[in-house]
Amino acid sequence: MLRKIKNALISVSDKSDLEKILFYLKKNKINIISSGGTFKEIIKLKYNCTEVSKFTRFKEMLDGRVKTLHPKIHAGILNNRSNKKHQSQMSSNKFKNIDLIVVNFYPFQETITKNKDKNSIIENIDIGGPTMVRAAAKNFKDVTIITDKSDYKFLINQLEKNKGSTDLRFREYMASKAFGLTAYYDSIISNWFNKEMNIKFPDKMTVSGKKLTDLRYGENPHQKSSIYSNKLSEKEIGFKKIAGKNLSYNNYNDIFSGLEILDSLKETGTVIIKHANPSGVSVNSSPLKSFQHALSCDPVSAFGGVVACNFKINKKIAREISKTFFEVILAKSFDQEALRIFRSRRNLILIDISKFKLISDIQIKCFNNSLLIQDQNLEIFDYKKLKFVTKLKPSKREIKLAKFAMNVCKFVKSNSIVVTKDFSTIGIGAGQPSRVDSCKIAVAKAKTFQPKKIKNSIAASDAFFPFPDGIKKLIKSGVKLIVQPGGSIRDKESIRVADKAKVKMIFTGTRHFNH
């Protein structure tokens, strides 16, 4: 069903590329109505245009807050061309149909990025634009709505192909995009208000997202996938791919895991991720040693994984990293020699994270029609709550070492056991239904790849030990300090086992399940 366009209303904040459609509107003898800066721009480009106030015969008021909010505008958009009653009312009021709306909104998202003045931010909440967009989208059977300048080319194609008309399928598709925009725009505003009011869990939660790109595939090749950004103030994720093939769903999943752990490290460090779990983590004043120690925790699992570094990679480090096959390297920039070395591998993905900041304070998981939302797990343990439950007490240095172990442990999928030595992981047991199985895996990894370091090592557990069997397994391997939340009805049995073996144990009172 074709609909001829006779009158178009244009009101755009982003005026770039406007001339592209003006030429074709004139070519098809379409009258243009506009206001404010858009009207001035159209006149400047030497196209005829009727100002909104002249069209409505009502001068805009309230500093421009009311200009398109007028019955003549909205009746022109909303009337059903097939409804005789509507047409009779339009005729008696001498109102004209408005067949095309081209609108984009005040730059609210851009304003909150650059401006902290609340009054200025409020003034950049668009009212007239979204109202017209919703009206036109509702009446898509008769009206064409364009809200994205990237769609100008499709509008032009419609006008050319249909001699000044648009077809129903096109109008309906543009309407779906329009409602997506108004929902997104309102969600940005709503989330800004929630943040201003420190409302973390509002009664009505809207999760907004702007599509960045389609991905190669989802978790598996038969699954489709895209990535969206839902930051209030940024159009991008915050890091930049500088080389390599396109990222997949799994790449992003691993990258996010690596960045989260990396953000928790306050010293020079390296994280190696495989299937969203760390296979090795190390902090060291030497960037090279931090990578070497992270890799040596489990060089087999690291194969094909993601390396995340909170330092600049130089030629020496690049050569060391290149000895192992990795899929993605994240770093706070790369020097030219490092880039030359890495780019010899065509598909290796290099990502600069020098401008990345972890700013979200909530986690969201989605299943079917439900959302689970919680605070980010930012705590490791509270020093005031620590209990030194064994006869032998840890030194200040051992407490720092235990904190590192527990920090890594909280990012490993539960049930998790992490064995460390001198601020480096040497064995990680992840994601087992049984905690004792996680102990066995962590110990087996350490004995396989770091047998000399397991003696006098530290073990962290994300939750309490329901039975002392896991404790016994760790002690037998050579662990000399165990840090865990405590809270089991059999804690006294675990303490007795530790005391008998002259092993130190710390209860933190803080559980770190990560599902």
Could you tell me the two tokens for 441? 């895996």
Could you tell me the two tokens for 439? 């102990």
Q: Residue 138 catalytic? A: yes
The CA angle 68-190-364, to the nearest 5 degrees, is 140
Could you tell me the two tokens for 16? 């770039």
Q: Pairing mode, if any, of strands 50-51 and 31-34?
A: parallel
Q: Pairing mode, if any, of strands 370-375 and 362-367?
A: antiparallel
| Crossing angle for the helix pair 18-27 and 152-161, to the nearest 10 degrees | 10
Could you tell me the two tokens for 9? 């209303």
Tally DSSP H helices, then E strands, for the chain. 19, 23
Could you tell me the two tokens for 333? 């920039």
Q: Pairing mode, if any, of strands 306-309 and 269-274?
A: antiparallel
Name the DSSP class of 153.
H
| Cross-strand partners of 3 | 166
Distance CA 308, CA 291 (A): 9
Q: Residue 275 catalytic? A: yes
Q: Residue 247: which residues within 8 A CB-CB, separation 6 or more?
A: 215, 216, 227, 241, 255, 328, 349
Catalytic hit among 6, 15, 74, 138: 138
- Name the nearest CA neighbour of 354 among 304, 404, 317, 313: 313
Distance CA 513, CA 438 (A): 14
Give me the DSSP letters along 426-457. Answer: EEEE-S-SSHHHHHHHHHHHHHHH-TTTSTTE
Report CA-CA distances (Å) from 85 to 7, 315, 323: 21, 77, 78
| Crossing angle for the helix pair 168-196 and 128-138, to the nearest 10 degrees | 140
H/E run at residue 196: helix 168-196
Catalytic hit among 15, 275, 332, 472: 275
Cβ atoms of residues 459 and 482 within 8 Å: yes
Q: Catalytic residues, which ones?
A: 138, 275
